[in-house]
Amino acid sequence: MLVIRLSRHGRKGKPFYHVVAADSKNPRNGSFKEKIGYYNPIANRVAEKVISIDMDRFNYWVSVGAQVRERVENLVKTQAKMNQAKTSPEPNNKSSEKKKA
């Protein structure tokens, strides 16, 4: 069975994860079919990108029948929220401004 899961890299105390499509029988850091993104939990959120997942490849693997692990599903939702926040325009606060007569 195919799964989309995290593969841990980095050194002790400084984790870095790759989001991979792999066979469920392989070990966590073993062989995988394709690397589709990464997750850096200790990144500086202002200067560095925390989550990057190729959504086209993610959707392809899901359509083929890959099971998505819970943590990866949460990361995909978080990335979607971050992308939506970047693309949505700022709300206009004209109602709070006083009209001049």
pLDDT in tens, 11-56: 999 999 999 999 999 998 889 999 999 999 988 766 678 899 999 9
Integer Rg of the chain from CA: 19
Q: What does DSSP say about strands 67-68 and 2-11: parallel, antiparallel, or unpaired?
A: parallel
Instruction: Give pLDDT, residue 95.
Output: 55
Element (H, E) at 11: strand 2-11
Amino acid letter at 76? V
Residue 100: band (very low, low, confident or very high) from pLDDT cuts 50, 70, 90: low
- What pTM did the predictor assign? 0.78
